[in-house]
Amino acid sequence: MPLVVQKFGGTSVADADKILAAARKAIRAHREGKQVIVVVSARGHTTDELIGLAKEITERPPAREMDMLLATGEQVSVALMAMAIQALGVPAISFTGAQIGIVTDSFHTKARIRNISTERIQQALDDGQIVIVAGFQGVDEHYNITTLGRGGSDTTAVALAAVLGADACEIYTDVDGVYTTDPRVVAEARKIDRISYDEMLELASLGAGVMHSRSIEFAKKFGVPIHVRSSFADATGTWIVAEEDARVLGASVTGAALAKDEARVTVLGVPDRPGVVHALFRRIGEANIVVDMIVQNVATHGRTEVSFTVAGGDLAETLIVAEHAAREIGAEGVTHDASVAKVSVVGLGMRVHTGVAQAMFEALGAAGVNIQMITTSEIKISVLVDRASGADALRCVHQAFELERPRLDDRRDFAPHRRPPAERSPLAGPDAPPLANGLGGMEDLVVSGVELDEEQARVTLLNVPDRPGYAGKVFRAIAQAGVNVDMIVQNVRSASGDTRLSITVPRADALRAAEAASAAVDDPGHVLVEPNMAKLSVVGIGMRTHTGVATRMFGALAEAGINIALINTSEVRVNVLTDLGPGKAGLAALGRAFDLPTRLAASGSGSRAE
């Protein structure tokens, strides 16, 4: 019998009428002969109100009690939903996360799912009931109630769809699909028909609040198609599916996102030797803080600067950890900026289309937006800007890529279907092979490979003026020289007033890129070329939210005595640049650390084209 999971977000269950309307959707699917699981969030702004209440009692509510409190919001919703469905004449039963055995780790307020026992749900489904499950919550091995992080009901829904083998997971919300960017910020945003897991994963983790990014990790790992659609209408929404099913012709950029509430932390005067970056990020990883935009400057006089961004809410804790780590590694200090925003463009098309960085930087320059930091991955470019310019920056980037224009769709006949899991589920049976690394748990990371690209060179512009328009000019010149740029990294202005912009390019193009850049800048003496570099990559799913991957990677390189020259991260890869000499030793060290076969990558694989 077909099985569907339907998830209703907070606004979709805000009052009695909306709960009844949601109930009717579930009943309709039931009458169509499907087994139905309904996952619900807390009503309206309940979660925010509960957080506010806790803050009235104490500035720092203990995380365990916070989870005890927040989980009540969803418990109210499941009971009301079950009543609504029963009142409409269909048998239904509600469960909390604990009751159906959603077992998580013990990281309160950001717990990860370890296991879900399916017997009780399956029994109720087989009895013909609609099963209502409280989203966002679970229980740890000591029966403490946990929550999965804000927006986590999406993750409950997709996780249930994954373990129960549902044909699809429907996410009902207050927009009718995934848009090219948040329609509340950019009115011209356009609904996307289909988007790949990787693009959605990036967009979600870069600020597109429509989906909890961890839900997309599940969907990709277990091959679950997701349909994001309106609670208040019946039209088709957006399908989030495998890359093969998502492909739409011609576009370099699929969507853009704004993370408004970001904070930047910079560790100053970091000694430039192996192991230092590892020591820093190990500490941060241990605190379960998700880090983005890691940028390390080219070292001068044996010291460098490492900047990274975290969610604004994690700043206070991050500073405590970073200051501690800075003392430990002999760095000179820690600075931060609490009022920055991150603007990103995402698209699988960036692997083949050139000129994306140039277009983005020129648009920002023309709008007078200063770029403070830049990082890229093969399918995204992110810039850090002053928070006050964030929304304008998003709008101008959206316009520059004409994201409001409909895209050519080459597969009108598309029908979603479940794909075989990317890796076998550990829940598939006692003999099923565990996920890579033998870690086993449902939400543990899946690392699928380690790679070495020996064809890289680095070109660095020193003394980059800290003003709008500069990056656009440089990238125009490099593009005109016909050079494909892979990684782009720019750190914030250093204590000595210096901003540095590094790019990596194929070795054969290094001099051409340097000449083009020199011609475009005011001070051509300040271009540094390092022709013999290598890129080491760890490839997988959900790498950024699993702080452990980068930490393990940096640790393995440190142990092998290999210095890290540059870092860039995405949800599907962590890349580091090293000298060419130790590249092969680095690859072997990573192979051992992740217990995976290694491979020499063709030049440019896993790269953006620019």
Binding site for Mg ion (CB under 5 A): 9, 151
The closest alpha carbon to 303, from 336, 322, 326, 337, belongs to 326
Q: Give the orientation angle of helix 470-480 with respect to helix 356-366, to 10 degrees.
A: 150
Residue pair 13/19 in contact by the 8 Å Cβ criterion: yes
Using CB under 6 A as the binding rule, the residues of this chain from 254 to 273 that contact ligand ADP are 255
Q: List helix spans (H) across 259-314.
A: 276-286
User: Is 179 one of the binding residues for ligand ADP (CB under 6 A)?
Assistant: yes
Give the whole-angstrom CA distance, residue 304 versus residue 302: 7
**Shortest distance, position 183 Cβ to ligand ADP, whole Å:** 6
* Residue from 26, 134, 159, 178 in contact with ligand ADP (CB under 6 A): 178
Q: Which residues on adjacent β-strands are paired with residue 255?
A: 346
Binding string, residues 39-68; x marks residues near ligand ADP by CB under 6 A = --x---------------------------
> If you write DSSP's letter for every residue of 195-227 in order, what string do you get?
EEHHHHHHHHHTT-TTS-HHHHHHHHHHT--EE
| Smaller CB separation from ligand ASP, 260 or 283 | 260
Q: How many residues does the chain have?
A: 610
Instruction: Find which of ligand ADP, ligand ASP, Mg ion, none residue 175 binds, CB within 5 to 8 Å per kind.
Output: ligand ADP
Q: Which does 150 bind (CB under 5 to 8 A by kind): Mg ion, ligand ASP, ligand ADP, none?
A: ligand ASP
**CA 473, 476, 482 angle in degrees (round to 5)?**
150
Interior angle at CA 503, CA 498 and CA 509, nearest 5: 130
Least distance (Å) between residue 70 CB and ligand ASP: 7
Is residue 173 part of the contact set for ligand ADP (CB under 6 A)? yes
The dihedral sign for the CA sequence 345, 197, 24, 156:
negative
181 touches ligand ADP (CB under 6 A): yes
Considering the complex, state which of residue 152 and residue 583 has its C-beta at the smaller distance from ligand ASP. 152
179 binds, among ligand ASP, ligand ADP, Mg ion, none (CB under 5 to 8 A by kind): ligand ADP
Cβ contacts of 350 within 8 Å, gap of 6 or more: 252, 253, 356, 378, 379, 380, 381, 608, 609
Q: Does 394 bind ligand ADP (CB under 6 A)?
A: no
Q: What is the DSSP string of 84-129?
A: HHHHTT--EEEE-TTTTTEEE-S-TTS--EEEE--HHHHHHHHTTP
Which of Mg ion, ligand ADP, ligand ASP, none does residue 437 bind to, with CB < 5 to 8 Å depending on kind?
none
Specify the stretch interacting with ligand ADP by CB under 6 A; choose among 171-179, 325-333, 546-554, 576-584: 171-179
Give residues in contact with ligand ASP (CB under 6 A). Answer: 9-10, 41-42, 47, 73, 135-136, 150-154
**Smallest separation (angstroms) from ligand ASP to the CB of 25:** 18
Site string for ligand ADP, 206-245 (x = CB under 6 A): --xxx-----------------------------------
Instruction: Choose the contact partner of 271 out of ligand ASP, ligand ADP, Mg ion, none; CB within 5 to 8 A by kind.
Output: none
**Among residues 9 and 604, whose Cβ is nearest to ligand ASP?**
9
Three-state DSSP at 312 gives helix
Beta strand pairing call for 303-311 and 168-173: unpaired
* 395 Cβ contact partners less than 8 Å away, ≥ 6 residues apart: 185, 186
Residue 42 interacts with which of ligand ASP, ligand ADP, Mg ion, none, CB < 5 to 8 Å by class: ligand ASP
- CA pair distance 76, 94, nearest whole angstrom: 10
Which pair of structure tokens corresponds to residue 338?
Answer: 């609490």
Task: Decide if residue 401 touches ligand ADP (CB under 6 A).
Answer: no
Q: Which residue number is nearest to ligand ADP in terms of Cβ?
A: 9
Q: Which of 24, 31, 184, 327 binds ligand ADP (CB under 6 A)?
A: 184
Cβ distance to ligand ASP smaller for residue 61 or 274: 61
For residue 183, the minimal CB distance to ligand ASP (Å) is 19
Chain centroid to Cα 214, Å, comes to 8
Q: With respect to Mg ion, which residue has the nearer C-beta, 9 or 285?
A: 9
Q: Given CA atoms 67, 209, 175, 158 in this order, what sign does their dihedral have?
A: negative
Q: Contact between 70 and ligand ADP (CB under 6 A)?
A: no
Virtual torsion, Cα 172, 174, 175, 177, nearest 10 deg: -10
**Interacting residues toward ligand ADP by CB under 6 A:** 9-12, 41, 151, 173-175, 178-179, 181-184, 208-210, 255
